[in-house]
Amino acid sequence: MKTYTIGLDIGGTSSKFGIVDSQGNILEQGRMETCRNADPLDFVQRIAQVLLPLIERYGRKDFKGIGIGAPNGNFYSGCIELAPNLQWKGIVPMQKMLAEALSLPAILTNDANAAAMGEMIFGGAKGMKDFIIITLGTGLGSGIVVDGKILYGKSGIAAEMGQLIVEKDGRLCGCGRRGCLETYASATGIVKTVSLALEKGEKSSLAGVSPLTSAQITIAAEAGDKLALRSFEETGEILGLALANAVAFSSPEAIFLFGGLAHAGEFIIGPTRKAFEENLHNIYQGTVRLLPSSLVDADAAILGASALLY
């Protein structure tokens, strides 16, 4: 008997989905804009329109359900709660909405927790019982695995490392507070770092580029642009310190970097590793590795979300 699952990764900008078989093969996949407006029902209706025909085509009775990775997704309540990077406000009962729209069982968790499950089942964290995954996208997400299990905590929304305050009275965050890690260490964060320097009149090949993206900053860094290179260094310095502090918390075997900004490769991983090693307490030296994710982003998010059903 064949068994299919749907993996859905809700991102700050776009959402990815796939039909996954029991061996972890993605048979079909697609993506769509997440928030066209403030109404989450608009998203649910658009995605149901795409998924329902696929469910019928593969055979509804062979589907276990849909696994959903979402920013600020609460595993316990099945809701997306006060996500700073989405137009949807308040508490969005996305698990219930999708279960009803598709008439299938649904499970929801943080998008980064889903990525962690993907890394644990299909990626570089196979066999590890203690690790952290950091997703560097529009924001910064994290999944913390302790003793082989996702850390959910009392609230169901533990491991929000993007929301660690790392700079007193720092940059304004979508959450309303100042100095959160993701205002510096994310695609949005590095764009802000470059923009602020350009506003101050700093010379760079990035001057006038609009809209400015982390991909363009990477291209500029490859061409040796000083501002682009320095922005990666500053970003890595802040991220590396935060990761060294994370080790003093959960003492993982490895920390995986994942997502859009991680595509900048050594430009971001190099300075992050340098700051990580400089700031790591000597009792942890040699116990923890800083690694790029071994999975293709889109696949990992879909596979991780789908793995929630196993």
Residues that bind a second copy (CB under 8 A): 72, 81-82, 129-130, 144, 146-147, 149, 151-161, 163-165, 168, 175-177, 241, 244-246, 248-253, 279, 281-284, 287-288
Complex with a second copy: residue 57 or 149, whichever CB lies closer? 149
Order across the sheet with 73-74: list the strands.
73-74, 79-81, 91-92
- Rounded distance between C-alpha atoms, residue 233 and residue 219, angstroms: 15
Where do the H-state alpha helices sit in 59-152? 94-102, 111-122
Complex with a second copy: residue 22 or 245, whichever CB lies closer? 245
In angstroms, give the least distance from the CB of 227 to a second copy.
Answer: 22
Which whole-number Å values give the CA distances from 207 to 62, 198, 211, 212, 220, in the listed order?
A: 53, 6, 11, 9, 11
In angstroms, give the least distance from the CB of 180 to a second copy.
Answer: 8
Complex with a second copy: residue 74 or 214, whichever CB lies closer? 74
In angstroms, give the least distance from the CB of 110 to a second copy.
Answer: 11
Position 272: which residue type? T
Complex with a second copy: residue 60 or 129, whichever CB lies closer? 129
Handedness of CA 257, 293, 253, 142 (dihedral sign): positive
- Cβ burial of 110 (10 Å; 0-12, 13-18, 19+) is buried
Complex with a second copy: residue 123 or 240, whichever CB lies closer? 240
DSSP annotation of 178: B
In angstroms, give the least distance from the CB of 72 to a second copy.
Answer: 6
- Rounded distance between C-alpha atoms, residue 289 and residue 203, angstroms: 36
In angstroms, give the least distance from the CB of 277 to a second copy.
Answer: 12
In angstroms, give the least distance from the CB of 90 to a second copy.
Answer: 11
In angstroms, give the least distance from the CB of 192 to a second copy.
Answer: 19
In angstroms, give the least distance from the CB of 64 to a second copy.
Answer: 25
Where b means 16+ CB within 10 Å and e means fewer, 222-241 reads: eeebebbbbbbbbbbbbbbb
Crossing angle of the two packed helices 226-250 and 187-199, in degrees rounded to 10 = 140
Q: Which of 255, 60, 247 is nearest to 143 (CA)?
A: 255
Complex with a second copy: residue 154 or 200, whichever CB lies closer? 154
| Residues 6 or more apart in contact with residue 263 via CB below 8 angstroms | 215, 218, 297
Complex with a second copy: residue 210 or 282, whichever CB lies closer? 282
Q: Give the HSE-up count for residue 128: Cα atoms under 13 Å, Cβ half-sphere.
A: 28
Complex with a second copy: residue 52 or 82, whichever CB lies closer? 82
Please name the residue that has the structure tokens 């596979």. Answer: 303
